Structure 1
Amino acid sequence: MELTLAAPPETAAPPLDLDPELLPGEAGYFAGEWLAYDYDGGQRYEGAYAGMLIDRWHGWAVWECTRDVATAVVVDQEMHRRHYRQLMTVAGHEEPRLTQLVDGPVPPMSWSGDAIVVDLSATGEGIVRIEPNERGRYVVMGGRWCWEEIPVDLADFVYGQLD
């Protein structure tokens, strides 16, 4: 197959689906660096979450999502906690230090009724309750975690659909 600059090869992947100038009120896919991994000289993400950008916080995306997508964030967080806990256990850490090492960077998240409860006690911030907003959407750790919009093409799995 001949590769020229005139046109991409027929086997080329579709262009990346990323709007570099996503504005508040626009839908997109969001992830954090904790979901990223090196792949073929670039970066991919274990997952991306569908939502709507509502603000920026120090340049990072603050976005809202449906309860189903928020549930996926909570489940993923628990999976990351279990994985990180196992890594720390293999590294030789034991209780009570083990829990402290895990809870700081990967805080516990759970549901209590319609609210997400995030235990940030390990970092001195106490308990955070994330209630649905007036549209029934969740802003999961917006203004606390460094979320960014990503090209959906770079996600292994996508949670939710764009409205």
Structure 2
Amino acid sequence: MELTLERPRPETGMLLDLDPFLQPGESGYFAGEWLEYPYDGGRRFEAAYAGTLVRRWNGWAVWSCTRDVAAAVVTDQEHARRHWRAEYRAHGMTEPRLSRALNADVPEMRWDGDVIVVDRSALDEPELRIEPDERGRYDVMGGHWMWEEVPVDAADTVHGVVERP
């Protein structure tokens, strides 16, 4: 489920009072600094994704989510690639430098059946394959990207709904 500012929130019961310091097993909304922008003296995020905290990695959140939410991360990554390709081109960058820079900064993500494939060859690293766990949940770039829990009302677009205990 995707929520945007242009659409009213669906009736989902009481709003959750999210703890900014989730414990493993607790659900929340996650975003990264690449989605952040300044707003009215604070911070907002272009998107946030519903999931369950699995563990911490260097203080950052490692979280799992449904396939629908994982698909939103993959789709948003491809939107970011198109955006940055246009930005690089507008600033005079040309091939093959443009593609090398884009692939290093915003790696390609795609689906191979039920597996998310992340091309990390620009970083001289092997392709990353993110498979669903035994419950069909995905840990999207946990331990690779610096995710943090964010308040749901600080996001322009929200993918998914947190699970209630």
TM-score for the superposition, normalised by structure 2: 0.88
Aligned pair 1:75/2:75, yes or no? yes
Alignment of 1:99-138 (within 5 A): 99-138=99-138
Cα distance between partner residues in 2 of 1:17 and 1:96: 48
Q: CA RMSD in A?
A: 1.3
Q: What CA distance in whole angstroms lies between the structure 1 residues aligned with 2:86 and 2:16?
A: 35
Greater CA deviation, 126-135 or 15-24?
15-24
8 Å CA contact 1:64, 1:138 repeated in 2: yes
Q: Which residue of 2 aligns with 1:142?
A: 142
- Which whole-Å CA distance do the structure 1 matches of 2:109 and 2:120 have between them? 9
* Larger radius of gyration between Structure 1 and Structure 2: 1
Q: Could you give the per-residue CA deviations for residues 13-61 of structure 1, whole angstroms, max 9, x where no partner exists?
A: xx99431221000000000001101111111001100000000000000
Amino acid at match of 1:124: D
Identity %: 63
Q: Residue 135 of structure 1: CA displacement?
A: 1.4
In structure 1, runs of 5+ residues without a counterpart are 1-14
User: Aligned runs of 1:8-157 on 2, under 5 Å?
Assistant: 17-157=17-157
1:62-90 deviations in Å (ceiling 9; x for gaps)? 00000000000000000001101111001
TM-score by length of 1: 0.89
Find the aligned partners of 2:42 and 2:66 in 1 and give their Cα distance: 30
Number of aligned residues: 149
Unaligned runs of 5+ in 2: 1-14
SS of match in other structure, 2:34:
helix
Contact 1:29 1:149 in 2 (8 A): yes
